[in-house]
Structure 1
Amino acid sequence: MDEPPAEDLTARARIRNAALRLYAERGTEKATIREIAKVAGVSAGLVRHHFGSKEALREACDSYALEQIMDAKQQAVDDQQVGNVAFLQAVHPRLILLQRYLTRAMIDGSPAAATLFDRMVDFTEQWVALHNPEVTEDRRAYAAVLVAMAAGPTILSDQLSRVLGGDVRSPEGHLRMSRAVVDIHSHTLLSPELAAQAHATLGDLQAQEAPTGPRAGADHS
């Protein structure tokens, strides 16, 4: 997660990082190759030389951001770095950028956004299967909803910032928001008894609404 100074990065890495920042701030449609090249300190021709097209550059950013996020989570949990202040200080500013990038990239309505969301759900489903396989009977749904919920604070960052009286996109505001996220995940909102009742009721409703008969699943249009 802790990258070397910009002057020590390759041109390809500088271009990718510049694109990440501009895409996170403005979205992929509004950030141009020329602007990315200017921020990276290279020519627009060199951007095309390394990535070929804006779509390919976006794909590279998607893969890099997702891999970096998952690597940080693995270090925090598997390597037990979540209690290491130095580790969190090192990764925190970059995590804010990567989360903003991934969230904006998932909601732009493009085919690439759908692919990115699917990849995040796949990673999350694998994570749940490895670390907490008993938490749900429907890991796919659990993973998909968890990804959507995780994106919520970034999507609603303006509203959160207003209510909390500080920009949650800043390191200080993001830390306050993150502590609330930890509280939510570490304390159950439903008692086991109430959760069991809710599951039973939802299961009954699901069974009642399931299609039946020979035409189940057929196209009724």
Structure 2
Amino acid sequence: MSSQSDLTARARIRDAAIELFADRGIEGATIRDIAQKAGVSSGLLRHHFGSKEGLRDACDEYVLSELIGIGNRFIEFQTVDAITPGILRMQRYITRSVLDGSPAGSALFDRLIEYGERWFDTSDVKSADPKAFIAVLSVMKMSMLTSRDLLTRILGVDTGEPEGWARVLKASLEIFSTPLITTDQADLARGALDRLHTPEE
């Protein structure tokens, strides 16, 4: 097998793994399933990646670099022209990975937060607690992906596909751009929350 064929087989295996991991979770997709979808033998998969964990690591690196590389933005509204089935699949993959409770998933989430904090430092966004801002924003985004079945049923369009996801993003855009409370209400709420963490004298 030529080196070019090796690279092609490796990419097919990686892409098949991303799709199955996104749809079934890491535990739900077997090496045999991935090899079959990629049109290769299990032995060739192990030759390229060693194990399912090795394959997962490769998928993590590829997906993270691809998603970060799209305009190098953290807020998706700035890259709506990049919504494709492949990108949505990678987003579902990332979400499945970070939520599976594994050390690899936790490490991936840490990297996402670190990237978000770097984005925050170069943006005009202001927050008294940047880490909490980025962490909550990230989890809110993931919740829209994990709630695909619920949103699809209510909206009547598959939110795992570009048309449905665009509708979700439009609603998100309205939510983020429309103040839901007044400045005075926000200040009162912050004061109340601050007092929760202030010991009484």
Shared fold per TM-score greater than 0.5: yes
In the alignment, residue 187 of structure 2 is paired with which amino acid?
Answer: A
2:98·2:105 contact (CA, 8 Å) conserved in 1?
yes
**Following TM superposition, by how much is the alpha carbon of 1:192 offset from its aligned partner in structure 2, in angstroms?**
2.3
In the other structure, the counterpart of 2:44 is 46
In the other structure, the counterpart of 1:114 is 106
Residue 22 (structure 2) pairs with residue 31 (structure 1): no
Aligned with 2:148 (options 140, 157, 163):
157
Task: Give me the whole-angstrom Cα distance separating, in 1, the residues matched to 2:121 and 2:93.
Answer: 26
CA RMSD of aligned residues (A): 2.4
The CA deviation string for residues 170-196 of structure 1, in whole angstroms up to 9 with x for no partner, is 222111111112222222323222222
2:13·2:35 contact (CA, 8 Å) conserved in 1?
yes
In the other structure, the counterpart of 1:146 is 137
Task: Give me the whole-angstrom Cα distance separating, in 1, the residues matched to 2:119 and 2:100.
Answer: 26
**TM-score, normalised relative to structure 2:** 0.87
Relative to structure 1, the CA distance from residue 74 to residue 43 in structure 2 (aligned partners, 3 Å threshold; closer, same or farther) is same
Alignment of 1:20-99 (within 5 A): 20-74=18-72, 82=79, 88=81, 91-99=83-91
Task: Give me the whole-angstrom Cα distance separating, in 1, the residues matched to 2:143 and 2:78.
Answer: 25
In the other structure, the counterpart of 1:170 is 161
For structure 1, the 5+ residue unaligned runs are: 1-6, 213-221
Task: Give me the whole-angstrom Cα distance separating, in 1, the residues matched to 2:168 and 2:78.
Answer: 20
Aligned with 2:180 (options 189, 203, 209):
189
The CA deviation string for residues 110-148 of structure 1, in whole angstroms up to 9 with x for no partner, is 12121111111111111111113x521111111111111
**Following TM superposition, by how much is the alpha carbon of 1:91 offset from its aligned partner in structure 2, in angstroms?**
4.4
Relative to structure 1, the CA distance from residue 39 to residue 156 in structure 2 (aligned partners, 3 Å threshold; closer, same or farther) is same
Task: Give me the whole-angstrom Cα distance separating, in 2, the residues matched to 1:206 and 1:40.
Answer: 54
In the alignment, residue 51 of structure 2 is paired with which amino acid?
Answer: S
SS state at 1:121 partner: helix
Task: Give me the whole-angstrom Cα distance separating, in 1, the residues matched to 2:78 and 2:151.
Answer: 28
**Number of equivalenced pairs:** 195
2:74·2:116 contact (CA, 8 Å) conserved in 1?
no
1:76·1:82 contact (CA, 8 Å) conserved in 2?
no
For structure 2, the 5+ residue unaligned runs are: none
Relative to structure 1, the CA distance from residue 169 to residue 39 in structure 2 (aligned partners, 3 Å threshold; closer, same or farther) is same
Moved over 3 A (4+): 80-83
